[in-house]
Amino acid sequence: QSALTQPASVSASPGQSITISCTGTSSDIGDYNYVSWYQQHPDKAPTLIIFGVNNRPSGVSTRFSGSKSANTASLTISGLQPEDEGDYYCSSYTSARTVVFGGGTKVTVL
């Protein structure tokens, strides 16, 4: 169960857009549309912001969007706002009937 690969950190100014990549294999991201993204603020529980590669749960801002190409999924945050600062994790279902996470990406709003 190897972890998915995410950049450790991404930073940008308010109003800009950022994209976080999440690279897996043909046994997880590449073969299934069960990619989710979670946002976690300091000392808080994670919250689901994207499911099924590119779907937003009710109440999640439209500034968050997801996509996938081959073995890599991506999360884009457009119009970056101060409250978007936090940690972001991708996850995927795998062929072994498990769930694997990325190592997390720390987003900093400059």
Partner 1 sequence: QVQLVESGGGVVQPGKSLRLSCAASGFSFSAFGMYWFRQAPGKGLEWVAVLSYDGSKKYYADSVKGRFTISRDNSENTLHLQMNSLRAEDTSIYYCARARVDYDFWSGSSPWGQGTLVVVSS
- State which of residues 22, 75, 80, 100 lies at the interface with partner 1 (CB under 8 A): 100
Written as six digits, the tokens of 81 are 């706002």
Give the nearer residue to partner 1 in terms of CB position, either 41 or 110: 41
- State which of residues 39, 64, 93, 107 lies at the interface with partner 1 (CB under 8 A): 93
d(CA 27, CA 92): 10
Q: What is the DSSP string of 23-77?
A: E--TTTTTT-S-EEEEEE-TTS--EEEEBTTTBPPTTS-TTEEEEEETTEEEEEE
User: What x-and-dash track marks residues 38-57 binding partner 1 by CB under 8 A?
Assistant: x-x----xxxx--xx----x
Q: What is the DSSP string of 5-16?
A: B--SEEEE-TT-
User: What x-and-dash track marks residues 54-83 binding partner 1 by CB under 8 A?
Assistant: ---x--------------------------
What amino acid is encoded at 41 in this protein? H
For position 104 contacting partner 1 by CB under 8 A, the verdict is: yes
Binding site for partner 1 (CB under 8 A): 1, 3, 34, 36, 38, 40, 45-48, 51-52, 57, 89, 91, 93, 97-104
